[in-house]
Amino acid sequence: MRSLRRRKQDIWICEASTDDTEMETRTIYTKPKRYRVSVSNTSGTPHELPAGIVPEYSRYIVSYNRRFKPSEGDVLFIDRKPRLTRLGELELDENGEPYTTPDYVLSHVMDTQRGTIARYGIKKIAGGEDE
C-alpha cells in the first residue's frame, strides 16, 4: 500500500563536504533539492523494537520514488525550511555558514535494488537554532 499524500511533507536535501585548502576548514553545501516524502515521528518499527534492536537513527524517511537516491552523510532540512537565494542555493552569512542550519543527517540507507519501497534512517544534528 502506498503512503497517503496527506502524510507526505516537503524536505530539502543537500550534500555537505569539507574544504580544507585554506587555513580553516569550512563546509560547502550543494544546491538543496526539494522532495515530498513521508517522515516518521519516531524511530524503529514494530519488528525491530521487540527484538531488542535499538536503531542508531532518531527518525526515518519512507519513499516509493525510485529516483529518490540520497546517500549517507547528506544533510536534510525537515523541521526547518532553508533560507534560499534567488538561484535556489543556500543563503550564507558573512562567515560562510547557512542562515538556516540543517537539522538532520542521513545515517542509514535501507533499500534494495528491486524493491518498490526504501527507508532512510535520519539522525538529529545537535546544535542549531530553530527559526
* Residues 6+ positions from 20 with CB-CB distance below 8 Å: none
In this structure, what DSSP letter does residue 131 have? Answer: -
C-alpha 119/C-alpha 114 separation (Å) is: 14
Q: What is the largest CA-CA distance in the chain?
A: 52
Identify the top-confidence range among 8-12, 25-29, 58-62, 107-111.
8-12
pTM of the model as a whole: 0.79
pLDDT value of residue 131? 46
Q: What is the pLDDT of residues 11-48, one digit of tens each?
A: 999 998 888 777 777 788 899 999 999 898 876 666 56
Domain map (residue ranges) of the chain = 5-124
The yes or no reply on domain 5-124 and CATH 2.60.40 is no
